[in-house]
């Protein structure tokens, strides 16, 4: 079991470009969470997805950010028209179900907007 | 809405001393409370967790206590070592208005163990 895989590990984008962050959950896990972490700060919840469904996106900015978890393939966090303030580490985590089970984290994608 | 508060934000202890980190949560339906350790530049990793049907759990130098009435849970690290230096996050599973669950994390505690 390869664990939660995120790619790329590092992503540099110019202001106005699009950033696509990928997360492949652990085998057997159908629940994915995305978190954002600024330097020296905590893990801020963004979105919770199950296969083909967004369950809770209360932490997602209303504009420019979107997430999906298709039936086949990884979960994608998409940031359109990036700005410098989007620079952060983005972690995804997966769990087998949503209650009473451990969430495993990926290595994170460090997005730098220049 | 759901909230998990964590204190202190930074903690320095001498090697060999104990460290205690405390969290409080707001959702009375929360029933699973994991603790994660994040070393610099790395992913958060689970170090211990507790479910609401027990009040205490111990794993070698690490223990967690839970007081459901007061909505408090704490991490205790005894005989601290330099390699314990990291950021520690508590979390609680919270329910939203539609009845689904999500992990809510505390803001983290930066622990420094001084040799």
Closest CB to A105: pick one of B6, B45, B104. Answer: B45
Asked if the C-beta of A104 comes within 8 angstroms of chain B's C-beta atoms, the answer is yes
**CB-facing half-sphere around the CA of B61: CA atoms within 13 A:** 12
Find the residue in A nearest to B32 (Cα). A100
Instruction: Report phi then psi at A4, rounded to 5.
Output: -80, 125
Span B38-92, pLDDT tens digits: 998 899 999 999 988 889 999 999 999 999 999 999 999 999 999 999 999 999 9
> What confidence score (pLDDT) does residue A64 get?
97
> How far apart (Å, rounded) are the C-alpha atoms in residues B78 and B66?
17
Query: Can you list the positions of beta strands (E) in chain A?
Result: 5-7, 10-13, 19-24, 31-37, 43-50, 53-56, 65-68, 75-79, 88-95, 104-105, 109-113
Span A45-104, pLDDT tens digits: 899 999 889 988 989 999 999 999 999 999 999 999 999 999 999 999 998 876 667 889
A100 contacts B32 by C-beta, under 8 angstroms: yes
CA angle B79, B88, B98 (to 5 degrees): 140
Element (H, E) at B96: none
Count helices and strands (H / E) in chain B.
0, 11
> What confidence score (pLDDT) does residue B85 get?
97
User: Residue B106 above 80 pLDDT?
Assistant: yes
Closest CB to A100: pick one of B32, B44, B102. Answer: B32
Find the residue in A nearest to B99 (Cα). A55
Closest CB to A107: pick one of B43, B51, B105. Answer: B43
Find the residue in B nearest to A49 (Cα). B102
Mutation test of the interface with chain B: which of A42, A94, A104, choosing the one with the most B Cβ atoms within 10 A? A42
Calculate how close chain A gets to B71, using CA atoms only, in Å. Answer: 17
- Which chain B residues touch A33 with a CB distance below 8 Å? 102-103
Instruction: Report phi then psi at A68, rounded to 5.
Output: -145, 160
> How far apart (Å, rounded) are the C-alpha atoms in residues B20 and A33?
28
What is the three-class DSSP state of B42?
coil
Mutation test of the interface with chain A: which of B43, B87, B96, B99, choosing the one with the most A Cβ atoms within 10 A? B43
Closest CB to B44: pick one of A41, A56, A105. Answer: A105
Mutation test of the interface with chain B: which of A40, A53, A67, A100, choosing the one with the most B Cβ atoms within 10 A? A100
Structure tokens of B11? 């903690």
**Whole-number percent of chain B with pLDDT over 90:** 72
Cβ atoms within 10 A of the Cβ of A81, count? 13
> How far apart (Å, rounded) are the C-alpha atoms in residues B2 and B93?
9
């Amino acid at each position: 079991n390869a664990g939660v895989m995120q790619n790329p590990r590092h992503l540099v984008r110019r202001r106005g470009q699009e950033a696509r962050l990928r997360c492949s959950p652990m085998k057997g896990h159908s629940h994915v969470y995305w978190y954002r972490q600024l330097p020296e700060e905590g893990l801020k919840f963004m979105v919770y997805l199950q296969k083909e469904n967004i369950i809770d996106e209360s932490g997602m900015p209303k504009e420019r950010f979107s997430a999906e978890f298709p039936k086949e393939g990884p979960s994608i966090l998409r940031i359109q028209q990036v700005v410098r303030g989007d620079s952060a580490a983005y972690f995804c985590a997966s769990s087998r179900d949503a209650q009473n089970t451990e969430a495993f984290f990926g290595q994170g994608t460090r997005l730098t907007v220049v | 809405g759901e909230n998990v508060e964590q204190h202190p934000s930074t903690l320095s202890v001498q090697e060999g001393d104990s460290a205690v980190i405390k969290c409080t949560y707001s959702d009375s339906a929360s029933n699973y409370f994991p603790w994660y350790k994040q070393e610099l530049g790395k992913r958060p990793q689970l170090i211990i967790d507790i479910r609401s049907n027990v009040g205490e759990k111990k794993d070698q130098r690490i223990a967690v206590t839970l007081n459901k009435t007061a909505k408090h849970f704490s991490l205790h690290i005894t005989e601290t070592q330099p390699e314990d230096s990291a950021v520690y996050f508590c979390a609680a599973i919270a329910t939203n208005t539609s009845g689904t669950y999500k992990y809510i994390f505390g803001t983290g505690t930066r622990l420094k163990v001084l040799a």
